[in-house]
């Protein structure tokens, strides 16, 4: 396996994805006394090119590590970032690779990647229940963390009307603070 520089990795994505590639960002910072470099790469892709991008990451390293999917509510869209790490096992060579894909709220669907990375199952289940993004083709459709009697249509991480505001329980002797923050 050849270790590519961050720029080359970005170029590789551009070639592999073509139109599906939107944007990229390379973040580097020096750490501690010896000023070794910490690197993270952010790659923004279209939903159509998303699976291809994951397959491309698998070409960079046979078993890329998928740390987590971090979904966030950005108004009209839900932004999903797949946090990969590649080149682990090599001293200070590892890269954090954030694969960003936007899903419009009118069509909250994303294809599963469990056929490529079997370990992605937990985080896909979590994304479904917490953000309400349907993962198409997911082999296990159950909830992960939320209880079975948790109401349908409420997604704790949303910031719109489907958020968990109605379910909030302010413990006795405490002030409700989140509304103040909101105002």
Partner 1 sequence: MAASKGIERYTIPVGPIHPALKEPIRLDLGIDGEEIVDVDVIVGQVHRGIEWLGMNRNNPVQNIYIAERVCGICNICHPFAYIMAVEQAAGITPPERAEYIRTIIAEMERIHSHLLWAGVAAHEIGFDTVFYLVWRVREEIMDLIEYVTGNRVTKAMFQIGGVRRDITEEQFPRIRKSLDYYKSILNQLKTVFLDDRMIQMRTRNVGVLKAEDALKFLAVGPTARASGVTKDVRQDQAYGAYADMDIRAITPDVLTGTIIGDVYDRIIVRLLEVKQSIEIIEQCLDKMPSGTILVEPKIAKLLAMLKKAEGEGVGRAEAPRGEVIHYVRLEAERETLAAWKIRAPTYTNLMSIPTILKGGQIADVPIAFGSIDPCMSCTNRAIVVDRKTNKKSMLTYEELHELSIEKTRRLKAEFDR
Partner 2 sequence: MSLNSFKRALWLYHINAGSCNGCDIEILATLTPRYDVERFGIVLVGSPRHADVLAVTGPVPRQMVSRLKRVYEQIPDPKVVLQVGSCGMEGGVFHESYNLVGPVDQIIPVDVYVPGCPPRPEAIIEGVVKAWVKLEKAAEQRIT
Residues in contact with partner 1 by CB under 8 A are 27, 29-34, 36-38, 40, 42, 62-63, 65-68, 70-72, 81, 83, 85, 87-94, 96, 98, 117-123, 143-147, 156-157, 159, 164, 177-178, 181-182
The one among 91, 176, 180, 183 contacting partner 2 by CB under 8 A: 176
Determine if 177 is a binding residue for partner 2 (CB under 8 A).
Answer: yes
Token digits of residue 130: 């917490």
Whole-number Å distance between alpha carbons of 73 and 22:
19
Given a contact cutoff of 8 angstroms between Cβ atoms, the answer to whether 10 and 26 are in contact is yes
Cβ atoms within 10 Å, residue 32: 7
Give SS3 for 107: helix
Q: Among partner 1, partner 2, none, what does residue 174 contact (CB within 5–8 Å per kind)?
A: partner 2
Q: Among partner 2, partner 1, none, what does residue 85 contact (CB within 5–8 Å per kind)?
A: partner 1
DSSP notation for 13-52: HHHHHGGGEEEEEEEEEEETTTTEEEEEEEEEE-GGGHHH
Q: Among partner 2, partner 1, none, what does residue 65 contact (CB within 5–8 Å per kind)?
A: partner 1
Determine if 171 is a binding residue for partner 2 (CB under 8 A).
Answer: yes
Residue 133 CB, nearest approach to partner 2 (Å): 19
Cβ atoms within 10 Å, residue 63: 10
CB nearer partner 1, residue 14 or residue 143: 143
Contacts with partner 2 by CB under 8 A lie at 146-147, 149-150, 156, 164, 167-174, 176-178
């Amino acid at each position: 396996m050849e270790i590519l520089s961050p720029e080359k990795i970005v170029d590789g994505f551009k070639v592999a994805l073509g139109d599906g590639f939107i944007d990229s960002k390379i973040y580097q910072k020096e750490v501690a006394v010896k000023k070794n470099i910490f690197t993270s790469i952010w790659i923004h892709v279209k939903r159509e090119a998303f699976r291809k991008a994951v397959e491309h990451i698998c070409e960079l390293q046979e078993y890329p590590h998928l740390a987590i999917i971090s979904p966030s509510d950005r108004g009209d869209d839900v932004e999903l970032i797949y946090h990969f790490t590649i080149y682990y096992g090599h001293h200070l060579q590892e890269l954090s690779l954030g694969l960003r894909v936007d899903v419009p709220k009118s069509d909250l669907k994303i294809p599963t990647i469990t056929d490529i990375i079997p370990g992605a199952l937990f985080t896909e289940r979590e994304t479904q229940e917490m953000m309400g993004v349907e993962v198409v083709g997911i082999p296990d459709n159950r909830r992960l963390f939320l209880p079975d009697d948790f109401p349908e249509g409420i997604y704790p991480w949303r910031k719109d009307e489907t958020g968990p505001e109605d379910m909030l329980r302010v413990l006795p002797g405490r002030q409700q603070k989140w509304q103040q923050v909101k105002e």
